[in-house]
Amino acid sequence: MEILKAHDPYPDLRVNIGSLQLQNPVMTASGTFGYAREFENLVNLHRLGGVIVKGISLLPRAGNPPPRIVETSSGMLNAIGLQNVGVTRFIKEKIPYLRGLNVPVVVNILGDTIEEYQEITKQLSDVEGIAALEVNISCPNVKKGGVAFGTVPHMAAAVTEAVKSVSSLPVMVKLSPNVSDIVEMALSVERAGADSLSLINTLIGMAIDVKTKKPKLANVIGGLSGPAIKPVALRMVYQVAQRVSIPVIGIGGIDNMEDALEFLIAGASAIQVGTANFINPRISEDIVDGIGEYVKDQQLGSVRELIGTLEVD
């Protein structure tokens, strides 16, 4: 008679992002997964590690004029302009559905001023069904001449402190890669009280139509995402994870299981799948399965044993 193996056939994929517990490390990145409902026919949403919904501002935003997106080599540029329904409609129309999901829902928030970030946070803090906030600091600070919060360490820290001071929700700060020293930015935000860091947001880029000599995006410049940015993202995650003591979530060009594993090995506790959701709506679920197979094949006790295991000679 064959001896039954004692271990659980389901690999242990649970990870912790501070106080936030995920059933697996695969989340969907803000702005690439709508408000989750758009994907309900295509993905088993309940199998995801977490869902990060489209960025929410205090008031609704119409976004930029078209064209808003353009494909580039192994990537895409977007200048959507933060189109969203605003926090009031978000709570009324989107939260009831999201509350029914069996996975943590992280709400991405954005603002033009520190006061706006604070006000959105207050409105979301008492809403049932929100597991954490992700703070998008890549927006221009209108009171400081439009310089992005995420490019000046003390401004990024000020947003973080302001959000933390009015909410007990875990706060994940999403870092912009468009800085000269990502570690300095990460340390500044950590000192300001962030519970975790997610990186990277898009790299600013542009594309030109040589026939018309016009930019391919109406906004002229936009954010580059997709496989083209993965090496940059991986490098930044690696550098930041070495220096901070809070969990790091890796984002940037992940479109298969191996990409996800690279980020975990580099030191990320979890990852977010972004642009790949547009191409294969069930990619996140496939990545969950792939990581599970890997953990089994490598006979790891859990996926947590993999985090930060990069071997540099």
Partner 1 sequence: MSQHQEKARIIRFEQLSEDNFRLTLQSPQIAAQAFPGQFVMILTGKGNDPLLRRPFSLHQASTNGSIQVYFKNVGRGTDILAHAKEGEILDVFGPLGRGYRLVDEKPACLLGGGLGIAPLLFLAKALAKRNRDATSDLILLGGRSKPEVEPLVDDFKQFGMKIICATDDGTYGEEGFVTESLDSERVAPGTHVYACGPEAMLETVHDICLQRGFGCQVSVESVMACGMGACLGCNIPASDGTYAHVCIDGPVFDSGALVWKS
Catalytically active residues, by annotation: 139
**Binds partner 1 by CB under 8 A, chosen from 83, 123, 125, 151:** 83
Angle at 128 (CA atoms; ends 139, 112), nearest 5 degrees: 15
28 and 272 in contact (C-beta within 8 Å)? yes
Stretches 180-188, 198-206, 273-281, 301-309: which one binds partner 1 (CB under 8 A)?
Answer: 273-281
State in angstroms the smallest separation of the CB of 234 from partner 1.
15
Biggest CA pair distance of the chain: 75
Is 226 one of the binding residues for partner 1 (CB under 8 A)?
Answer: yes
Structure tokens at 309: 């295991």
Give Cα separations from 118 to 23, 60, 112, 158, 163 (angstroms): 30, 16, 11, 11, 5
Is 67 one of the binding residues for partner 1 (CB under 8 A)?
Answer: yes
Footprint of partner 1 on 6-45 (CB under 8 A): 31-34, 38-39, 41-42
- Structure letter (DSSP) for residue 228: G
**Binds partner 1 by CB under 8 A, chosen from 12, 14, 47, 80:** 80
- Structure letter (DSSP) for residue 13: -
271 and 26 in contact (C-beta within 8 Å)? yes
What's the sign of the alpha-carbon dihedral 303, 109, 36, 178?
Answer: negative
Q: What are the residue ranges of helices labelled H in 170-228?
A: 182-191
Between 18 and 227, whose beta carbon lies closer to partner 1? Answer: 227
Structure tokens at 250: 């890796």
Between 97 and 113, whose beta carbon lies closer to partner 1? Answer: 97
**Binds partner 1 by CB under 8 A, chosen from 13, 45, 70, 291:** 70
State in angstroms the smallest separation of the CB of 228 from partner 1.
8
Is 207 one of the binding residues for partner 1 (CB under 8 A)?
Answer: no
- Structure letter (DSSP) for residue 171: E
Between 123 and 280, whose beta carbon lies closer to partner 1? Answer: 280
Q: What are phi and psi of 273, to 5 degrees?
A: -95, 130
**Binds partner 1 by CB under 8 A, chosen from 147, 208, 279, 310:** 279
Is 277 one of the binding residues for partner 1 (CB under 8 A)?
Answer: yes
**Binds partner 1 by CB under 8 A, chosen from 46, 66, 99, 221:** 66
Between 69 and 152, whose beta carbon lies closer to partner 1? Answer: 69
Q: How far apart are CA 78 and CA 68, in angstroms?
A: 6
- Contact footprint for partner 1 (CB under 8 A): 31-34, 38-39, 41-42, 62-63, 65-71, 73-76, 78, 80, 83, 226-227, 255, 275, 277-282
